[in-house]
Homo-oligomer: A and B are copies of this chain.
Amino acid sequence: MERFSDRLAASILRRRSVVCVGIDPDLARLPDGLRATWAARVGELGEAGAAAACFTDFATGLIDALADVAACIKPQAAFFEQYGAPGWQALQRVVRCAHEHELPVIVDVKRADIGSTSTAYAAACFGGAPSLTGGTLPGLDADAVTVNPYLGADGLAPFVERCDEGRGLFVLTRTSNPGGVELQERDCEGRPLYLRVADMIARLGAARVGAHGYSDVGAVAGATAPELLAAVRAALPHAFLLVPGFGAQGAGPKALAGVASGDAAGFVVNASRSIIYAWRERGGDYRSAAAAAAAEMRDAIGGL
């Protein structure tokens, strides 16, 4: 069994890229041609079915075009869940398409609950729910997921346990949104909350380290607050960092100074809208526009 952190490191080294492409499909912003194709099939597939098929079409087209440029992809579950059961199926297909390209998939779910419920969330994301005939079900087959630390370590344990089967997780520390400051930067007995979370991550990840020296228990730390990103890195020298906030959310390559660690960068930088909707600025086919935008981002970050 190859550990998640080793699969991600191998992908980064092979593609010489730390770009993580966020797949956040918004029906209103998809190309007109795609929308028209699937709108014509609403009678046959239903409203949710047609919208979900449109997402699958858009996302698999993107992934095919990005397979040499992106280190990994990060579908955002919320955008799929809006379309109910067909949306969930579309998300499963997106994961499968990425796996056909040997692209690791971080499913962005930001889940966590008490332990027995987190076990079920882990089964939903990684597989393992019991079937009626004594087997187990495949779930979304994510390589890794994002999780929320508010419930504490016992709420994350069922995800952490799955690391030994090749899965990974990224725990929120300082998120990229403006409101992240509100609780996350509060001083908690001499150390800000987001670094208390980093301490928890260090503890949870210490025994889950791969051949490249990275832990399977990573951290989400936004590029929109570079000095806090640096503080997370200082607290977690061996964790993979998932860095959102690049592109549409405003951060640039300078925010990443000093974040690299180890032989395979030790971080991936997520951009969603600035890549998947690049055709709206650049014109042309959405797939080639996305590949060009991702390649520019890869080159702007450099360092590999």
Contact = CB atoms under 8 A, between A and B. Distances in A.
Interface of A: 24, 27-28, 35, 38-39, 42, 47-48, 50-51, 54, 76, 78-79, 81-89, 92, 108, 110-118, 120-121, 123-124, 129-133, 135, 137, 139-140, 148-155, 172, 175-184, 186-189, 193, 196-197, 200
Chain A residues touching B, majority SS: helix
Nearest to A125: B81
Contact of A200 (B28, B182, B197): B182
B115 A177 contact: yes
Contacts of A197: 183
Q: Taking each of A82, A88, A139, which has the highest tally of chain B beta carbons within 10 Å of its own beta carbon?
A: A82
Identical subunits present: 2
A85 B82 contact: no
Given A78-B121, A82-B129, 7 more contacts: A39-B132, A78-B111, A81-B124, A83-B129, A110-B148, A151-B179, A186-B188
Contacts of A177: 114-115, 151-152, 154-155
A295 B36 CA distance: 54
A48 B130 CA distance: 9
A34 B35 CA distance: 43
Nearest to A88: B85
A60 to B, nearest CB: 17
Contacts of A189: 186-187
A179 B129 CA distance: 24
A269 to B, nearest CB: 16
A121 B81 contact: yes
A81 B175 CA distance: 25
Nearest to A45: B132
Given A88-B84, A124-B82, A153 B182 contact: yes
A149 B183 contact: yes
Q: Which one of A78, A154, A172 has the highest number of Cβ atoms from chain B below 10 Å of its Cβ?
A: A78
Given A84-B92, A121-B78, A129-B51, A114 B182 contact: no
Given A131-B51, A149-B150, A152-B181, A82 B188 contact: no
Contacts of A54: 132
A135 B85 CA distance: 18
A182 B153 CA distance: 8
9 contacts: A47-B132, A78-B111, A82-B120, A84-B139, A85-B85, A87-B88, A155-B175, A183-B193, A187-B189
Contacts of A150: 148-150, 172, 175, 183-184
Contacts of A28: 130
A148 B187 CA distance: 20
A3 to B, nearest CB: 24
A86 B85 contact: yes
The 3 closest A-B pairs by CB, nearest first: A152-B179, A154-B179, A82-B129
